[in-house]
Structure 1
Amino acid sequence: MARISHVVFITLNVFTSIFGLVCVTGSIYFYIEKGMDCQQVLQAPLLISGLLTFVVSVMGLLASCFRINSLLIVYILLMFFVILLHAAFTLFMVFVANRNTGIVAIKLGFEKQFVHDINRRWLKRYFLSAKRWSGIRDCLAESGVCSDQDKIAVSHALHFFKGKLSPLLVGCCKPPRFCGFQQKNTTFWEMPRRGPAVPNSDCSTWSNNQNKLCFDCNSCKVGAVTDIISKWRTLTKSFFIFILVAFVILIITTSSRRKIMNKRKNIDSRA
């Protein structure tokens, strides 16, 4: 039974160390290749999670392989701290990504897209402040999110019934459908002579300039925040799996150490 626990312990720690390396690699990737990830919202959580998880997992492997009791105690304490840290961050992401303070219905393209109310104080302060949004907007323009307009137009035609087109592309790369603009080609939209169909600020904000487009539109901000929430949900699932694995490791470790301590007490009492 002890050997089985030892093998399971090593296997799970190898898994968590690989998880840590993947997180660090992902963080580095988001830093180097911005692309669609201009928000960079995953970079810091992945880096912190990856480094802590990898270091603690390696520490557990060393303590187990070389039977260093003092290192094992430090490992247990640190693993408990890592679990608490991941649990707190996971709860925070669930709270931000899933708690509705209101639902906003925005017509983007051919579909109605329901997103979480971006007027929540935290999201508004963190992502939609003038300074921060200016950086996100510049990044979106420089990264060429809307550069392949032909591809966007084809994807829109194929997926508008299924609602699969990215909110970021629809909100930032074309004028909102409710404006009633006429599309002359894949990169040029013309305003009706009577003006926009509805008196909405996004209609007047739209520009055919490929460096501006709808990057200052509210629909683009909604699309960006929706994209952020989608990424956080994916990260939340990964963190939840890690927490379960780490909790099992912690149980095995504390149980094994308790058995070792009991054996030593029995030997000392007989002596």
Structure 2
Amino acid sequence: MYRFSNTVIGLLNLFTLVASIPIIGAGLLMAKSSTTCESFLETPLLVIGFVVLVISLSGFIGACFNVACALWVYLVVMLFLIASLIGLTIFGYGVSSKGSGVEVVGRVYKEYHIEDYSSWWRKRIEDPRYWNTIRSCILSSKTCAKLASWTPQDYMQRDMSPIQSGCCKPPTACTYSMETMVNYQDPDCYKWSNDPTLLCYDCDSCKAGLLENIRRNWHKLSLLTLFMLVFLIAIYSIGCCAFRNTRRAETDYPYAQNRITKIIPRWDYYW
């Protein structure tokens, strides 16, 4: 039974080794795609795929062929991954703790303001390089096209996603009569256009809707993140046992075998 940990580590790494191949393949396919949204995910998929491939290969070789140095590399990288995941989880909760929707009187949906969210997120999403890519993704997703057939009654009774609320319509408080145009209004009111390719895609409310969508998705993934941490820590513990077994095998003294040979007891031992 002392080889059980090596068998478990070998099987798990064989599974992740096979699973890394489709991930790398998906990244390579996205690299050839002309769609902006797909190319946006190209680099993360390739990095994750190659990292999983290297880790799985070193863990499989070390556990199944008793190569201690390969298992040592595997454990070091696993420890780095656990520490990185813990740091990422703490950082994610820090930047996603701010922000929420504002109730609109007489409406089911909420509206979102970019100043309610973390300054770290605001700084990056307001960068034209990032926002132009994200804007193209929202436009190609045809999210706003679903609202084209809505009647005024639908806007009173139906809910919207954060992106639809921020990107597909002007803020509810906006008025476009000649008397009110000279008064102060939300700057997004002047960025709105009836053109389906423009709408409110350059509004701060659109950026806030995207941040709200990211915040909600992060909270949904929080349980998965905690599960991954527990799973990785358990695998790391089994890997430590496999590393210890491999070192014992290399020293030619298997588990529970004593280095001191037995000798015949002296004549007066039983007295």
Tell me whether the two structures share a fold, i.e. TM-score over 0.5. Answer: yes
8 Å CA contact 1:172, 1:213 repeated in 2: yes
Q: One-letter code of the match for 2:95? A: V
Q: Does 2:250 align with 1:269?
A: no
The answer on 1:244 being equivalent to 2:242 is no
- Paired with 1:54 and 1:159, the residues of 2 have a C-alpha distance of 52
Q: Which moved more, 1:251-260 or 1:75-84?
A: 251-260
User: What is the deviation of 1:69?
Assistant: 2.2
What is the deviation of 1:52? 1.6
* Structure-to-structure mapping, 1:161-200, within 5 angstroms: 163=159, 165-179=160-174, 191-192=176-177, 194-195=179-180, 199-200=185-186
Decide whether aligned partners of structure 1 residues 232 and 53 sit closer, same or farther in structure 2, where only a CA change above 3 A counts: farther
Matched AA of 2:230: L
Identity %: 25
After superposition, the C-alpha distances for 1:181-209 in whole angstroms (9 at most, x for unaligned) are xxxxxxxxxx4464469822222221101
**1:82 matched to 2:72:** no
CA, structure 1 residues 251+238, in 2 after alignment: closer, same or farther (shift >3 Å)?
Answer: same
Q: Any idea what SS the aligned residue of 1:210 has?
A: coil
How far off its partner does 1:237 sit? 4.2
Q: Flag the structure with larger Rg.
A: 2
Separation in 2, partners of 1:12, 1:157:
51
Measure the CA separation in 2 of the matches of 1:39 and 1:193.
45
How far, CA to CA, are the matches of 1:112 and 1:140 in structure 2?
19
Contact preservation (8 Å) 1:179, 1:200: yes
SS in 1 for 2:144: coil
1:212 paired to 2:194:
no
Shift of 1:223: 0.8
Q: Which moved more, 1:70-79 or 1:117-126?
A: 117-126
- Letter aligned with residue 225 of structure 1: L
Contact 1:106-1:114 within 8 A present in 2 as well:
no
Secondary structure at 1:178 match in 2: coil
Q: 1:20-64 CA distances to partner (integer Å, 9 max, x unpaired)?
A: 5676567668775868x5894x66555434432332023212222
Match of 2:125 in 1: 127
Preserved contact between residue 171 and residue 188 of structure 2 (Cα < 8 Å) = yes
Q: Give 1:73 deviation, angstroms.
A: 1.7
Matched residue SS, 1:177:
coil
CA contact (8 A) 1:93 1:236 kept: no
Amino acid at match of 1:240: L
How far apart in 1 are the matches of 2:54 and 2:17? Answer: 8
| Cα pair 1:107 1:113 within 8 Å, conserved | yes
Q: Secondary structure at the match of 2:145?
A: coil
- Aligned residue number for residue 189 of structure 2: 203
One-letter amino acid matched to 2:193: S
> CA contact under 8 A between 1:107 and 1:178: conserved in structure 2?
no
Two-structure CA RMSD over aligned residues (Å)? 4.0
Work out the number of aligned pairs and report it: 253
Tell me, in whole angstroms, the C-alpha distance in 2 between the residues paired with 1:167 and 1:39. Answer: 24
Q: Is the 8 A contact 2:7 2:63 kept in 1?
A: no
Counterpart selection for 1:136 from 134, 137, 143 = 134
Distance 2:204 2:76 in 1: 46
Asked if the contact 2:2–2:245 (Cα under 8 Å) also holds between the matched residues in 1, the reply is no
CA-CA distance at 1:5 after TM superposition: 3.1
Counterpart of 1:175 in 2: which secondary structure? coil
Q: Unpaired runs of 5+ in structure 2? A: 262-271
Name the CA distance, whole Å, in 2 between partners of 1:171 and 1:235.
Answer: 23
Change (3 A) 1:145 1:235: same
Q: CA deviation at 1:92?
A: 1.9
Provide Cα deviations, 1:95-117, integer angstroms capped at 9, x if missing partner. Answer: 212x23x6562649642356785
Preserved contact between residue 207 and residue 213 of structure 1 (Cα < 8 Å): yes
Give the distance between the partners of 1:45 and 1:89, measured in 2 at CA. 15
Deviation at 1:167, TM superposition (A): 0.7
Q: Could you tell me how far apart the structure 2 residues matched to 1:34 and 1:230 are?
A: 25
Residue 105 (str. 1) matches residue 126 (str. 2): no
The verdict on how the C-alpha distance between 1:259 and 1:78 changes in structure 2, with shifts beyond 3 A counting, is: same
- State the one-letter code of the partner of 2:72: I
